[in-house]
Structure 1
Amino acid sequence: MTVVTLGALVALFVPFGGRGTDAANGDGRQGSSAPGGRDRDHERVDLARRITDFTRDTVAHSDYLPPLRAQRRTAAEAVGLFLDGRRAEAGRRLDDIDFGIRTYTDTATGRRFAEISDRAAEGRRGWGRVYIDLSATSHWSVQVPHPVADSGSEQLGIGVLRARRGGVLVMAGAHRNADKKGRADVAHRRDTVFDAVCDELAARRFPGLQVHGFADSTEPDYDVIASLGSADKGLPTARRAATALRHEGFAVCRAWARRCALEGRGNVQGREAEDQGVPFLHMEFSRTVRDDAARVRRASAAMAAALPS
């Protein structure tokens, strides 16, 4: 795949806001969602600011309540219904777990996005959010399992979603250490809403891109650790992504060519992608990269350009 000129791609950032009793919209006003998930407003918001506010004000302080199997299944089925165009039915299913759907127009891109989020318990359950680009048929996902814990990783997810149409952004709703038993670490648990939604997308054969962060001292000679987790089907995509990143000046440790730290082989979303035979990329970025907004934009655009059509 040809790597497009990054200057032609849209800049990054996008937030997960919602109608939680403690969460404000990106414009500072409380939101609401009509019964059954029907759209009641089409606000214009800066989605980057919205997600950033959500991670800072909610995710960073959220408790974590492990969901029941039926609740996980309901969330995943509702996302599937929405992707199938059965939006009213999706809304009714989400009502059962006190989630809702809202739509927004992103001021940076002019595109509309749907937000699936906790209506009443954000900050208490920590089940996360889903964003769906409504400007094109959905066919790939970007996943942020460790917001706040991997500081700035949400900005990479936001940037990829903005840089390419047809994406679904899945984001955890609590710090990975929010639960003392480790149950909030969604990249390594099968019993989370995050994992259930990612499984639904993998079953629909959506390639998955999961973004993480590492301390500079972990791999001091590299800016990026690119790996497949355990999903070997993603090798062509991984090679394209690594090449695009190198062209942008990033030093990339390619786990399929040499030994790298943090290769993500225990990542459960990667294992599901392997079972489904769909591409999956596990991308780790240094703290120095994640702290530099310009480099985050370039990295996001490079990854977006490398995703399969």
Structure 2
Amino acid sequence: MDLARRITDFTHDTVARSDYLPPLRAQRRTAAEAVGLFLDGRRTEAGRRLDGIDFGISTFTDTVTGRRFAEISDRAAEGHRGWGRIYIDLSATTRWSVQVPHPVADSGSEQLGIGVLRARRGGVLVMAGAHRNADRKGRADVAHRRDTVFDAVCDELAARHLPGLQVHGFADSTEPGYDVIASLGSADKGLPTARRTATALRHEGFAVCRAWARRCALEGRGNVQGREAEDQGVPFLHMEFSRTVRDDASRVRRAAEAMAASLPS
């Protein structure tokens, strides 16, 4: 199975049309605890916990990398609840996460997430399951809500001290002259990683606005996953990419490889 095709089909066929049903606190906790159990190697127990919220675990081999991945996803109401998916690289010990909070809304951001997951072993990809505007009350905007499955899983990963990389997209007119806005959100533990990442991207020909060195738009200071990472003392990067970059498959690949190579292990 092609990992990229699997995720792209999910975003096009499900995320773009999904409703959003806010999860109960117990459901969020169950999802996060099950991911933790899975990462601890207690996969049968994780599966039983996920059964309680009608989620399931499947595994497959990515035809491009030849590596095994696990997919944790909604079995019954994926297009109704919009709680998202988690992909785990099974070829190595889990050491970091890449997060895609706004698939479809930030067109092409899922391709950046896929690229990072493929480019370096030991990753977890956490993806939202609905458009950020799927709920009229704003409850589907997972980058700014603490009451989502997405946030609960990211909290579990931060509690395990796994560095987080969150990818977004911006309109070219938002920050003219830049391809990338790199920031730490509200955190400060990731500054060495951020500097390495910005340097790697510049070497690939990207113009990077570095929010720790100057004022940039969309610095992500209200990002709740970044705030949790700060509380846990875990490196966190908030990366915004222009529409021009996200529309260019070659530049997406180069950006993903540069970010993956810069992640701490």
TM-score by length of 1: 0.86
Per-residue CA distance 1:119-146 (angstroms, 9 max, x = gap):
0101000000000000000010000000
Per-residue CA distance 1:101-126 (angstroms, 9 max, x = gap):
00000000000000000001010000
**How far, CA to CA, are the matches of 1:178 and 1:207 in structure 2?**
29
**How far, CA to CA, are the matches of 2:258 and 2:61 in structure 1?**
24
Match of 1:60 in 2: 16
Q: How far is 1:49 from its partner? A: 0.6
SS at match of 2:194: helix
Paired residue for 2:44, among 79, 88, 92?
88
Paired residue for 1:208, among 152, 161, 164?
164
Percent of pairs identical after alignment?
A: 92
Q: How far is 1:289 from its partner? A: 0.1
Per-residue CA distance 1:41-81 (angstroms, 9 max, x = gap):
xxxx0010110000000000000000000000000000000
- 2:33 pairs with 1:77: yes
Q: How far is 1:265 from its partner? A: 0.1
**How far, CA to CA, are the matches of 2:3 and 2:117 in structure 1?**
10
Paired residue for 1:177, among 116, 133, 138?
133
Give the unaligned 5+ runs of structure 2: none
Moved over 4 A (4+): none
**How far, CA to CA, are the matches of 1:272 and 1:139 in structure 2?**
17
**How far, CA to CA, are the matches of 1:164 and 1:282 in structure 2?**
18
**How far, CA to CA, are the matches of 1:86 and 1:231 in structure 2?**
31
Q: How far is 1:247 from its partner? A: 0.1
**How far, CA to CA, are the matches of 1:303 and 1:139 in structure 2?**
14
SS at match of 1:124: helix
Per-residue CA distance 1:73-92 (angstroms, 9 max, x = gap):
00000000000000000000
SS at match of 2:56: strand
Q: How far is 1:187 from its partner? A: 0.0
**How far, CA to CA, are the matches of 1:231 and 1:79 in structure 2?**
24
Q: How far is 1:171 from its partner? A: 0.1
**How far, CA to CA, are the matches of 1:83 and 1:296 in structure 2?**
28
**How far, CA to CA, are the matches of 1:273 and 1:206 in structure 2?**
9
- 2:147 pairs with 1:165: no
TM-score by length of 2: 1.00
**How far, CA to CA, are the matches of 1:194 and 1:122 in structure 2?**
14
Select the structure of larger CA radius of gyration.
1
Higher helix share: 2
Per-residue CA distance 1:131-186 (angstroms, 9 max, x = gap):
00000000100000000000000000000000000000000000000000000000
Q: How many residues align?
A: 265
**How far, CA to CA, are the matches of 1:288 and 1:297 in structure 2?**
13
- 2:192 pairs with 1:236: yes
**How far, CA to CA, are the matches of 2:202 and 2:196 in structure 1?**
10
Q: How far is 1:100 from its partner? A: 0.2
Give the unaligned 5+ runs of structure 1: 1-44
Q: How far is 1:272 from its partner? A: 0.0
Q: How far is 1:211 from its partner? A: 0.0
SS at match of 1:211: strand
Match of 1:286 in 2: 242
**How far, CA to CA, are the matches of 1:230 and 1:206 in structure 2?**
17
RMSD: 0.2
**How far, CA to CA, are the matches of 1:52 and 1:197 in structure 2?**
21
